[in-house]
Amino acid sequence: MTDVNALADALEAAERDVRPIPRLTDSADLDVPTAYAVQHAVIERRRARGERLAGVKMGFTSRAKMLQMGVDDVIWGLLTDAMAAGPDVDAARLIHPRIEPEIVFLIGREVRSPAEADAAVDAVAVGYEILDSRYEGFSFTLPDVVADNASAARFGVGPWHRPRDVSNVGLLLEIDGRPAQTGSSAAILGDPVRSLRAAARLAAASGITLEPGWVVLAGAATAAVPLAAGAHVRVTGAGLGAVEVTAR
Ligand code: OOG
Q: Give the tens place of pLDDT for each residue, 145-182.
A: 999 999 999 999 999 999 999 999 999 999 999 999 99
Q: Is residue 1 predicted with pLDDT exceeding 80?
A: no
Q: Is residue 200 predicted with pLDDT exceeding 80?
A: yes
Q: Give the tens place of pLDDT for each residue, 210-221.
A: 999 999 999 988
Q: Is residue 44 predicted with pLDDT exceeding 90?
A: yes
Does 149 contact ligand 1 (Cβ within 6 A)?
no
Q: Give the tens place of pLDDT for each residue, 50-97.
A: 999 999 999 999 888 788 888 877 899 999 999 999 899 999 999 999
| pLDDT the model gives residue 71 | 80
Please give the angle made by the CA atoms of 160, 165 and 171, to the nearest 5 degrees: 70
**Domain locations in the chain as residue ranges:** 4-247
Burial class (CB in 10 A: 0-12, 13-18, 19+), 158: buried
| pLDDT the model gives residue 67 | 84
Using the atom order of ligand 1, give the atom closest to the CA of residue 138: 10
Predicted ipTM of the assembly: 0.93
CA of 151 to the centre of ligand 1 (A): 6
Taking the C-alpha atoms of residue 134 and residue 40, their distance in angstroms, rounded to an integer, is: 16
Indicate which residue's Cα is closest to atom 4 of ligand 1.
Answer: 59
| pLDDT the model gives residue 70 | 81
Does 145 contact ligand 1 (Cβ within 6 A)?
yes
Does 28 contact ligand 1 (Cβ within 6 A)?
no
| pLDDT the model gives residue 94 | 98
Q: Which residues pair with 245 in a beta bridge?
A: 233
The CATH code belonging to domain 4-247 is 3.90.850.10
Using the atom order of ligand 1, give the atom closest to the CA of residue 100: 5
Does 65 contact ligand 1 (Cβ within 6 A)?
yes
| pLDDT the model gives residue 92 | 95
Cα–Cα distances in angstroms (integers) from residue 246 to residues 17, 81, 227, 229, 240, in the given order: 22, 19, 9, 8, 20
| pLDDT the model gives residue 68 | 81
Q: Which residues pair with 210 in a beta bridge?
A: 111
Taking the C-alpha atoms of residue 141 and residue 125, their distance in angstroms, rounded to an integer, is: 31
Q: Give the tens place of pLDDT for each residue, 25-37.
A: 999 999 999 999 9
Q: Give the tens place of pLDDT for each residue, 100-140.
A: 999 999 999 999 999 999 999 999 999 999 999 999 999 99
Q: What are phi and psi of 129, to 5 degrees?
A: -125, 135
